[in-house]
Structure 1
Amino acid sequence: MQLQKEEIERLERTYRLNLINSISGIKPANLIGTKSPTNKENVAIFSSVVHLGSSPAQLAFIMRPQTDIPRDTYPNIMETGFYTINHVSEAFIQKAHYTSAKLEKGESEFERMQLEVEYIGDFHAPFVKESSVKIGMKHEESIPLPNGCIFVIGSVEMIICPDDTINDLGQLDLEGYSGVGISGLNTYYGLKKLDSFPYVRENEIPEFK
């Protein structure tokens, strides 16, 4: 199949939606947890979390356009300044996926999808107890994007993960705790480590054939 821009734009809406959402490949599966100023807890799945920098440690994700009736995640982040990022693993992918449902404002996805809330120290936002890798985040900046989406930037305030998921170099073993990735909007893949290579220096590049 080969499609030019005009042909892509003429595709049936759902087909085009699925195609464009999946051509970027496997994306991370994360649950973002928030709590309102009135202590109502919320959690929702996102596949757009990206690394921005290590010093200072920053991550970002893309929030869809906010309508006249915004959902809970973004308002909670803006009003409290804190949120959590929780890796999804194979054991609870179905529960994680269904947090994408549009529930009534203030209704907790934690309760509806039977995900367990976990609080760590005095951190304001709730973590997902089932998640092996949990990250406490502080909101730093929100940047409007041309398509109406919002690029939400946060600083890493806390990392929680099992000792055996990190090697001596600080690398996270995604396969070790059955982490998953998302293709498109609703297809999940298991992650398997294939190889690991050294930091690339020009004089160490192999002779490829």
Structure 2
Amino acid sequence: MNSANVSHLRAEDILSMESLVRRNFVNSLTGFKSVTLIGSRSLEGVNNLAVFSQVIHVGATPPLIGVLFRPHTVSRHTFENILATGSFTLNHFTEKTVLQAHQTSARYGESEFEATGLTPEFNGSFSSPYVKEGTIKIGLELVEVQTIKANGTELVIGAIKETLVPEFCIGSDGFVDLEAAQVVTCSGLDSYHSTNKIARLTYAKPGKIPQRIDKILSH
């Protein structure tokens, strides 16, 4: 690597950055991330909506998803609603609603649904609101909360109770085609992206060259 073309920063260099610059820099380093709208509802019946990019797969048996929250040093409605009611939803969205989704990160004193023009939608007896304009939706029940000692962030782990996925997005092997659903992704704190699939590849084994799964399934 030609060092003349590379910015070599050490930990002390990063820590000395201006706060906003440091947040943008570090948040961008981890690459493209899942971005979803989290729907929740207070005990008083106020619907809440917030965009989150710190969402991770925790396990498939049982099906678990984790969401990382910033330290609970100020009022955080989504986190507080989840603790109070024990449920929340994840809602993937498309390019059509990127502006509204991003706007949910503003500090509103009212429901973000009303403030942004997005529509709350309820499914049966599940208490937390989905986003009607969403494309792939997941209903979760709170399982546990882990506090990260290094910086005080909170890892909320939810069990999947139900999913709402367009049938045409679900492959014969269970793979969910997010690109077919026009789901967007993000990088950093405020950059949204569409995707372009390169390939799905077979399970890697020593001495065996991976094959393209999409070609195998099409035969």
Per-residue CA deviations over 1:54-90 (Å, capped at 9, x if unaligned) read: 00000001011112x4121111111110000111211
Instruction: Detail structure 1 runs of 4+ shifted over 4 Å in the superposition.
Output: none
5+ long unaligned stretches in structure 1: none
* Cα root mean square deviation, aligned: 1.1
Corresponding residue for residue 37 of structure 1: 43
Instruction: Classify the secondary structure of the residue corresponding to 1:91.
Output: helix
Shift of 1:99: 0.3
User: How far apart in 2 are the matches of 1:111 and 1:139?
Assistant: 25
Shift of 1:6: 1.5
The answer to whether 1:149 aligns with 2:146 is no
Asked if the contact 1:141/1:153 (under 8 Å) is kept, the reply is yes
Instruction: Classify the secondary structure of the residue corresponding to 1:22.
Output: helix
Shift of 1:13: 2.0
The residue type paired with residue 24 of structure 1 is T
5+ long unaligned stretches in structure 2: 1-6, 211-219
Corresponding residue for residue 4 of structure 2: none
Corresponding residue for residue 13 of structure 1: 19
User: How far apart in 2 are the matches of 1:77 and 1:15?
Assistant: 31
Shift of 1:194: 1.1
User: How far apart in 2 are the matches of 1:11 and 1:162?
Assistant: 44
Asked if the contact 1:64/1:149 (under 8 Å) is kept, the reply is yes
Correspondence list, 1:55-204, <5 A: 55-67=61-73, 69-104=74-109, 107-145=110-148, 146-204=150-208
User: How far apart in 1 are the matches of 2:108 and 2:151?
Assistant: 24
| Pick aligned residue for 1:26 from 32, 53, 63 | 32
Shift of 1:7: 1.4
* Identity among equivalent pairs (%): 38
